[in-house]
Amino acid sequence: MRITAEEAASMVRPGHWVDYGFGMGQPDAFDRALAARADLGGPVFIRAALSMRPRAVMAADPEGRRFVWLNWHFSGIDRRAHDAGAGHYIPMNFGEAPDLYRRFIEPVDVAVVKCCERDADGFYNFSGACTYHGALTERARCVVVEVDPRLPRVRGAGNGIHESQVDFVVETDGLGAPELAQGVPNDVDVRIARHVAGHVEDGACLQIGIGGLPNAVCTAILEAGTRDLGIHTEMLVDGLMHLIEGGRVTGARKRNGVGKAVFTFAGGSAALNAFIHDNPALESWPVDETNLPDRIMANPGVVSVNSTAQVDLQGQAASESAGTRHLTGTGGQLQFVRGAYASQGGKSFLCLPSTRTRRDGTVESRIVAALEPGTVVTTPRTDVMYVATEWGVVNLKGKSVPERVRALISVAHPDFREELARRAREGRMVPAWHV
């Protein structure tokens, strides 16, 4: 049944749980219509992930009293809502999302997902936001599809919902897929990327995370001439697109999705949004098919490359918070670290610049003796494999704590190595004579 966005929003009642879905699949017209009902008399709980456009409900209720914003993974937009006290994080390993909806989350009152126009077989394609939308719509009491004719249509089993499962359709002229800033690699990123690229062999199967640094790794791999690559990743980014366009990706050595570049969502430039449209080289799968470690390890030679914010001298990686201030989310990092390790010949890399400059100009080491209280550990020390900075790459697997300390200090900025060694001795992480 076709209805207007305003009619769809009028179904929402105080106390309802409304799910906006993920990334480019979040609704725009419905969001504006719901924001116009900010006086509906009680809180509405809205669940979402990785907002790529400003949300009207946030603007209509900046204190988060009437629209309670709950989020599986923060973008910059979501982080600002959290900083203002209007948004809240939901901890999650990304690959578990479909199972969480099916097992632990009460049925959603209204699910609103933006999709492509219906195809000849009656399916509404999820575009570049397959993720957990299948499970979400299964668990919703009311499913609303907001049709955007400008969205790219993306191939892949499970990347869509049949009209028989849809309660209401909101037709729009559409804004198309949003662009997601990838970050411009700086000189430090390039140095780190070259270190990592030196460990990537022909035939490797790549997972690349978000940001300027992981994209720089793709550029370094391209420049190194590495060939016959595969792609099995959660996020398709511009750097991976460039590897495909450069003829370096065949997928021939994969065992899961042979010959296809597999991902669960896309985020990047307008060029990337155009690239994913009906591209036969690509398939988008539900996130439990891309991110669970047993699916990852099915491919040989998996190389996982992600960014982290801090690593302590025992090897704990903090990638999602600074103290109690939440920044992003666990996402798929831990699952890809584990899946890559379990893959035959696999490798995982956590990358970070050795220092950061605070707003007051103070320079701090990102390799620290101990994490700040309240900081969330994303990848435990038992799982971390390779750590890469601009000063080199070290492997922590199989290393004792004293060996880890020595390895991590070797890739810390030289200005901080003596202090880190002192802190390690004081903390009894090493014998007094060791560092």
Mean pLDDT of the chain: 96
CA distance 159 to 132: 10
**Residues forming a β-bridge with 161:** 124
The confidence score (pLDDT) of residue 83 equals 95
Name the percent of the chain lying above pLDDT 70. 99
Q: Which two tokens stand for residue 32?
A: 């504006």
**Residue with token string 């690699």:** 185
Asked if residues 272 and 138 have their Cβ atoms less than 8 Å apart, the reply is no
In this predicted model, what pLDDT tens digit does every residue of 273-311 receive, in sequence order?
999 999 999 999 999 999 999 999 999 999 999 999 999
The confidence score (pLDDT) of residue 418 equals 97
The confidence score (pLDDT) of residue 212 equals 85
Neighbour tally for 252: CB within 10 Å: 11
**Residue with token string 């978000």:** 210
187-197 helix and 212-224 helix, angle to the nearest 10 degrees: 50
* CA dist 33 → 29, 81, 219, 366 (Å): 6, 20, 42, 44
For 189-228, letters b (16+ CB in 10 Å) and e give bbbbbbbbbeebeebbbbbbbbbbbbbbbbbbbbeeebee
Res 432 pLDDT > 80? no
The gap from C-alpha 138 to its chain's centroid, in whole angstroms, comes to 23
176 class by beta-carbon count within 10 Å (0-12 exposed, 13-18 middle, 19+ buried): middle
The confidence score (pLDDT) of residue 433 equals 60
The gap from C-alpha 299 to its chain's centroid, in whole angstroms, comes to 20
SS3 310: strand
Q: Residue 225: which residues within 8 A CB-CB, separation 6 or more?
A: none
CA distance 131 to 136: 10
In this predicted model, what pLDDT tens digit does every residue of 12-35 receive, in sequence order?
999 999 999 999 999 999 999 999
Query: What DSSP letter does each residue of 293-309 carry, written as one string?
Result: HHHHTTSTTEEEEEE-S
Q: How confident is the model at residue 153 (pLDDT cuts 50, 70, 90)?
A: very high
Catalogue all structural domains in the chain, each as residue range(s) with its CATH number: 5-171 (3.40.1080.10), 187-426 (3.40.1080.20)
**DSSP type of residue 70:** E
Among 146, 234, 289, 390, the active-site one is 234
The confidence score (pLDDT) of residue 396 equals 98
The confidence score (pLDDT) of residue 434 equals 57
Catalytic residue flag (residue 234) = yes
CA distance 263 to 248: 17
Neighbour tally for 299: CB within 10 Å: 27
In this predicted model, what pLDDT tens digit does every residue of 168-223 receive, in sequence order?
999 999 999 999 887 788 999 999 999 999 999 999 999 998 888 888 999 999 99
Length of the chain: 435
